[in-house]
Amino acid sequence: MIRDPNLRTLAIVAGLVLTSSVAAAGSAEKGKAAYVRHGCWQCHGFDGQGSVAGSKIAPNPMPFEAFSDFVRTTSGAMPPYQKAILSDDDLADIYAYLQSVPKARDPKTIPLLNP
């Protein structure tokens, strides 16, 4: 057990980075197809932008570990996706796709949003 709180934090961060890099090994291209096939777009939009029915999940998705935990165990409005219907590989690919979504534009640079 790591007793030094600073070292413990470092270990958690290292764990997240490691987990995220494992997830990043997924394929964004396959992930885009899986994202549609598994219905993520229904509430989160095709680009993860979110809507009244679901939160924004891209760009800048949450760390993979938190993302995976939520998808597998949520009990809120979104139903859980267990491995029987969403494999670990598909989940990693979906995460890779969300990571690939480009940064949103600054609303100040969009004239129609500043009439």
Partner 1 sequence: MSLQHFAQSFVRAYKIAMTPPYGPVMISLDTGLQQEPMRDDGEKPYIPRYVPTSPPQGDSGAVREAARLLANAQNPVIVADRAARTPNGVTLLVQLAELLQARVIDQGGRMNFPTTHYLTAPASAVSNADVIIGLELSDFWGTVNSFTDNGENRGIGQNSTRINPDTRLISICAVELNTKANYQDFQRFQVIDVQMAADAQATLPALIEAVRSAIPNHRKSAIAARGESAKKAYAEMRSRARQAAAVGWDASPISTARMVMETFGQIKDLDWSLVAAESPRFNWPHRLLPIEKHHQWLGRAGGYGVGYAAPASVGAALANRDLGRISVCFQPDGDLMYAPGVLWTAARHKIPLLAVMHNNRGYHQEVMHVQRMSNFRNRVVNTGKDMGPVGTSIQNPDIDYRKLAESMGWWAKGPIKDPSELGPALKEAVAMVKAGQPALLDVWTQPR
Binding status of residue 85 toward partner 1 by CB under 8 A = yes
Beta carbons within 10 angstroms of residue 86's beta carbon: 19
Helix H or strand E segment including 29: helix 28-37
* Pattern 35-54, partner 1, x by CB under 8 A: -xxxx-xxx-xxx-xxxxx-
With CB under 8 A as the rule, give the number of residues binding partner 1: 35
Residue position matching structure tokens 């885009």: 32
Residue 81: count of CB within 10 angstroms of its CB: 20
Among 3, 4, 5, 76, binds partner 1 (CB under 8 A): 76
Q: Residue-wise over 96-112: b if at least 16 C-beta within 10 A, else e? A: bbbbbbeeeeeeeeeee
Which one, of 66, 72, 61, lies nearest residue 96 by Cα? 61
Site string for partner 1, 95-114 (x = CB under 8 A): ---------xxxx--x-xxx
Residue 73 CB, nearest distance to partner 1 (Å)?
A: 12
Considering beta carbons, is residue 14 or 53 the nearer one to partner 1? 53
Asked if 6 interacts with partner 1 (CB under 8 A), we say no
Q: Which residues bind partner 1 (CB under 8 A)?
A: 36-39, 41-43, 45-47, 49-53, 56, 59, 75-77, 79-82, 84-85, 104-107, 110, 112-115
